[in-house]
Amino acid sequence: MTPTTHPDSIARRRLDTPDVDVVVVGAGFAGLYLLYRLRSLGFSTKVIESADDVGGTWYWNRYPGARCDIESIDYSYSFDPEIEKEWQWSERYATQPEILRYLGYVADKHDLRRDIQFSTRVESATWDDNASLWRVRTNNGDAITCRFYAMATGCLSLPKTPDVEGVKRFRGASYYTGRWPHAGVDFSGKRVGVIGTGSSAIQSIPIIARQAAELTVFQRTPNFSRPAYNGPIAAEKKAAFATDPAAYRHAAKWSRAGVPVEPTLMQALRVSAAQRLAAYEAAYAAGDLLALGNAFADIGANPEANETVGEFLRGKIRAIVHDPETADALCPKDHFYGTKRPCLDSGYFETFNLPHVRLVDLRKDPIKTITETGIDTASRSFALDAIVFATGFDAMTGAIVAVDIKGRDGLALADKWNDGPKTYLGLMTTDFPNFFMITGPGSPSVLSNMAVSIEQHVDWVGACLAYMRERHLDVIEPTPLAEAAWGQHVNDCADITLFPRASSWYMGANVPGKPRVFLPYIGGVDRYRKACDEVVQRDYLGFAFDGAAGARCNDGVICRLQPDVAMLIDIMAELGLPAIDTLWVADARAFSVAMAAERPPGPEVGAIADGVLPGAAGALPYRLYRPAQPGPHPIVVYFHGGGWVLGSADSDDPFCRDLCVRSNAIVVSVDYRHAPENRFPAAADDGFAAVRWIAANAESLGGEPEQLAVCGWSAGGNIAAVVCQRARDAGGPRIAGQVLVTPATDCDFTRASYVTNGDGYLLTSALIHWFWDHYADPADRENPKASPLRARNLYGLPPALVVTCEFDPLRDEGAAYAAAMAAAGVSVRHLDCRGQIHTSVISVDMILSAAGARAEIGNALRQFFGTSPAAEQSALRVALLSSRAESAV
Ligand code: FAD
Ligand code: NAP
């Protein structure tokens, strides 16, 4: 992207000298490291913290049992090798006091406290556009100006106001896990009620139960939890870290969740039940927060796969808890495993076997009100001496919008984020220049080891400020395009997972009135870091700068591929596979057969039968997919892809199954003759011969007469298009519609999509040349039977759905064919799939982000056939329910 000049350069404006370069709000993990980093870069920095000491989360959350759930070796700073040597964690999951001591030790070691103003709350921050600085005000009446303003205020720092009727009426003692008294609380002999069963409650309940005379747990949603098996740090882990801390940290930084774990590609439903159980038992025994979710690749995306973990954990709960009714109430059933933050516990479920502990299932018996003496549910009154509110936080955005932040033209951040936060990379937001968030919404943050994510953000911000200083730039702001596209990418990532389906705090669902949007970035710490690094490498793509050196704007979008597509391309690159166009045809065919064998199989259909039909020059094999519902059905004749050289009924089998289920039609996948043995026009002639024969024999195939459509992918799309033209010219058979999926329609290789997408997206322009060279002589290529776009006229063709993909070399010729047919009066729908590549749409169960396109194809076919939408919808629902759901790569 060419940098452009910002019209309103601050070079022409007055720049006041601020009190400090940077004001940082918060002195937790993030604020402390930000102070250290900025100071070491030579920026004057003032930190403001409402607590009277450092620690953040670990200052406030002093409830009994509070400890980390990411192992302490991992949940610690990496920026100072001396600290790594000097500080030894006493156990695997350190307690809150130990983590607080650690943060105090880091603050002392680097003399951080001298730049921290404690016991002071920042109340407002206002951007002064004339002076290009922030004006910050505190509850003490301080007014401070700074060039840059950074919120290190934490994702989980603002406790949620409990939305329970009568909270203020209670005359006993009330405690909030997120604001626990420093002196501690002795519950001995007390009747205690705990509201909530999230991580804080699950950690504290077993300990409170040890002291209390009676403990009543008020549970609205049961949570998945499993034992932490806390204890000494495993010798192997210690050794792995001690041997080469830098390598260990590097692996963490480039991992999915900030903990060095090798991801698996194995899918839960592709192993036997016994293998699955063994994997879950091992993960359970590991006492690791991430192990179960990492046991198989599809747990986060495939409902059926996820359900196997859910049932495994429910089995554990039933085995631990003696009373079956209590056990059942403790079993999570309303959300998929991991879509609400799972917990690690120390004897949580066992606590419910104690005689003085009882569970109140608020789903059956909701809280009516808190009274002066206890809690009234719909059916009972509970007398209590103390209530512990473990009711969670206004997560991710709460602490940020709690400060009255005003950007350009007095725009309030709370107003801008009224429908949900909008950020670029979770670091900055448009109209709020020089305002940074550490682990803001739209960054991996709470879905990762926060220590790793915090360091990454701080390093990025530090490097950015240093970059600006070197170049005499004073103001940075993301562009609206970059911000909108990042929001889209964050949603794209979430949408291929099960996470948005849960009423979780990740979705803002725990706070009444909060907009329901998925707040963190789920694409992974590694991919996120790569994106942030790439933004910098591409000269701060998506940012505008201004300053003494002039103004510039490098507008653009990072992460344009759909997330699962990007992942697939990376996996393919890592495999180091040979380029097909460098192989002999026989080897290329063997290679594509081997690749096809590795894919998920696609959904179940009613029946599959192989047969033979007469082609243009001999018998052709075909494979017929029959829907589960009784027929007769319409028929879709399908032509596989493979550049007229490769492919078979096997190669496109999952897609044919998907077509069959979604369209509720018979799919006949025709194995036409291949080049170079049978060059042009063999494939086109076979395609037409096959359609004629299938139309003539529709009833014996179980089909409805006159209800025939064609569909093809890539070279198969080319054949389908040619078949439609030939059927028109020959006066039949009647074709109800055509679905051309990323079709080859022309032999012109100079279109823009060849130039921009010719390399790096699996189908390369070199490979397309290889296909054409094998298929057709240059003299034949302009023949409409090879290049249907070149037909003299396109009138009278069947209605069409043309699917193109943004990052496909064939995109523009597909689009041109759609436009040309439309210009000739054909009813055409052109679906251009954002962020997809040539192979996306047919990659059933692999590219989940293309499931919408597959659904559109099913809809289009049903429309061509004019089948009743209601009847079809219910057939589709039944079929999809009984088939395997789609799973992640
Ligand atoms: P915080 O630690 O929350 O610090 C923010 C600070 O900003 C606070 O001290 C707050 O007082 C201050 N502040 C906020 N607003 C203002 C204002 N307006 N003016 C002045 N000061 C302000 N993450 C993990 O990765 N692993 C774990 O095991 C883990 N365990 C957790 C356990 C608990 C009980 C909780 C609540 C969270 C846990 N987390 C864990 C998440 C944890 O919040 C982060 O790991 C990390 O501590 C966040 O650090 P931070 O500096 O970003 O924010
Ligand atoms: P939480 O996970 O949001 O749990 C809050 C609990 O309170 C939920 O069970 C919730 O029920 C319940 N609740 C809220 N409002 C209620 C109401 N009006 N009536 C009845 N029940 C109500 O909060 P948290 O336990 O403090 O944990 C927050 C996050 O902090 C964790 O997810 C984790 O990221 C972090 N944390 C980590 C650890 C650790 O192990 N290291 C410990 C504590 C916290 P619903 O689910 O129905 O809303």
Mean pLDDT of all residues belonging to the chain: 94
In this predicted structure, what is the pLDDT of residue 881?
Answer: 34
69 touches ligand 2 (CB under 6 Å): yes
CA 461–ligand 1 middle distance (angstroms): 19
Q: Which one, of 422, 534, 439, 398, lies nearest residue 478 by Cα? A: 422
The answer to whether residue 791 scores a pLDDT higher than 60 is: yes
* Cβ 604 vs Cβ 874: under 8 Å: no
Secondary structure of 229-292 in HEC code, one letter for each residue: CCCCCCHHHHHHHHHCHHHHHHHHHCCCCCCCCCCCCCCHHHCCHHHHHHHHHHHHHCCCCCHH
197 touches ligand 2 (CB under 6 Å): yes
Q: Whose CA is nearest to atom 3 of ligand 2?
A: 392
The answer to whether residue 716 scores a pLDDT higher than 60 is: yes
- Angstrom distance (rounded) from CA 285 to CA 291: 9
The answer to whether residue 177 scores a pLDDT higher than 70 is: yes
Q: Whose CA is nearest to atom 27 of ligand 2?
A: 199
CA 845–ligand 2 middle distance (angstroms): 33
The ligand minimizing its distance to the Cα of 203 is 2
The answer to whether residue 31 scores a pLDDT higher than 80 is: yes
Q: Which one, of 182, 241, 145, lies nearest residue 59 by Cα? A: 182
The answer to whether residue 778 scores a pLDDT higher than 60 is: yes
154 touches ligand 1 (CB under 6 Å): yes
CA 26–ligand 1 middle distance (angstroms): 9
* pTM reported for the whole predicted model: 0.94
pLDDT tens across 878-889, in order? 333 333 333 322
**104-108, 556-560, 703-707: the lowest-pLDDT one:** 703-707
pLDDT tens across 633-656, in order? 999 999 999 999 999 999 999 999
In this predicted structure, what is the pLDDT of residue 162?
Answer: 86
**Residue 244: band (very low, low, confident or very high) from pLDDT cuts 50, 70, 90:** very high
Q: 727-730 long-range CB contacts below 8 Å, 24 or more apart?
A: 727/688, 727/691, 728/796, 728/797, 730/688
CA 263–ligand 2 middle distance (angstroms): 28
Query: Atom of ligand 1 at shortest distance to CA of 30?
Result: 51
CA 253–ligand 2 middle distance (angstroms): 27
48 touches ligand 1 (CB under 6 Å): yes
The ligand minimizing its distance to the Cα of 57 is 1
Mean pLDDT of 818-846: 97
Beta strands in 793-827 (DSSP E): 800-807
3-state helix, strand, coil split of the chain in percent (to 5) is 40, 20, 45
Per DSSP, helices labelled H in 88-176 are 96-109
* Cβ 196 vs Cβ 389: under 8 Å: yes
Q: Which one, of 389, 295, 306, 315, lies nearest residue 340 by Cα? A: 306
Q: Which one, of 485, 624, 501, lies nearest residue 542 by Cα? A: 485
The torsion angles phi and psi of 66, rounded to 5 degrees, stand at -65, 125
CA 203–ligand 2 middle distance (angstroms): 11
Mean pLDDT of 824-840: 98
Secondary structure of 174-229 in HEC code, one letter for each residue: EEEHHHCCCCCCCCCCCEEEEECCCHHHHHHHHHHHHHCCEEEEEECCCCCEEECC
- Residue 799 has what DSSP assignment? P
The answer to whether residue 239 scores a pLDDT higher than 50 is: yes
Query: Atom of ligand 1 at shortest distance to CA of 70?
Result: 28
Q: Whose CA is nearest to atom 47 of ligand 1?
A: 57
Q: Mutate which of 76, 95, 179, 199 to test ligand 2's pocket (most atoms within 8 Å of Cβ)?
A: 199
Q: Mutate which of 76, 139, 157, 510 to test ligand 1's pocket (most atoms within 8 Å of Cβ)?
A: 157
3-state class of 875 per DSSP? helix
* Cβ 430 vs Cβ 481: under 8 Å: no
Mean pLDDT of 47-64: 98
**Residue 290: band (very low, low, confident or very high) from pLDDT cuts 50, 70, 90:** very high
Q: What percent of the chain has pLDDT over 70?
A: 96
556 touches ligand 1 (CB under 6 Å): no
Q: Whose CA is nearest to atom 49 of ligand 1?
A: 29
pLDDT tens across 595-629, in order? 888 888 899 999 999 999 999 999 999 999 999 99
Mean pLDDT of 257-268: 91
CA 235–ligand 2 middle distance (angstroms): 33
Which residues are CB-neighbours of 158 under 8 A, at least 6 positions away?
393, 394, 398, 399, 402
26 touches ligand 1 (CB under 6 Å): yes
Q: Which one, of 561, 626, 454, lies nearest residue 27 by Cα? A: 454
In this predicted structure, what is the pLDDT of residue 14?
Answer: 55
Instruction: Provide the 10 A C-beta neighbour count for residue 140.
Output: 11
CA 333–ligand 2 middle distance (angstroms): 17
- 42's tokens: 């030579």
Q: Mutate which of 99, 149, 156 to test ligand 1's pocket (most atoms within 8 Å of Cβ)?
A: 156
pLDDT tens across 491-514, in order? 999 999 999 999 999 999 999 999
The answer to whether residue 8 scores a pLDDT higher than 50 is: no
The torsion angles phi and psi of 615, rounded to 5 degrees, stand at -95, -165
In this predicted structure, what is the pLDDT of residue 867?
Answer: 73
Q: Whose CA is nearest to atom 26 of ligand 1?
A: 70
Which residues are CB-neighbours of 212 under 8 A, at least 6 positions away?
187, 188, 189, 190, 191, 192, 356
51 touches ligand 1 (CB under 6 Å): yes
Straight-line distance from the first to the last Cα atom of the chain, in angstroms, rounded to the nearest whole number:
32
25 touches ligand 1 (CB under 6 Å): yes
Query: Atom of ligand 2 at shortest distance to CA of 163?
Result: 18
The answer to whether residue 6 scores a pLDDT higher than 60 is: no
The answer to whether residue 138 scores a pLDDT higher than 60 is: yes
392 touches ligand 2 (CB under 6 Å): yes
In this predicted structure, what is the pLDDT of residue 875?
Answer: 42
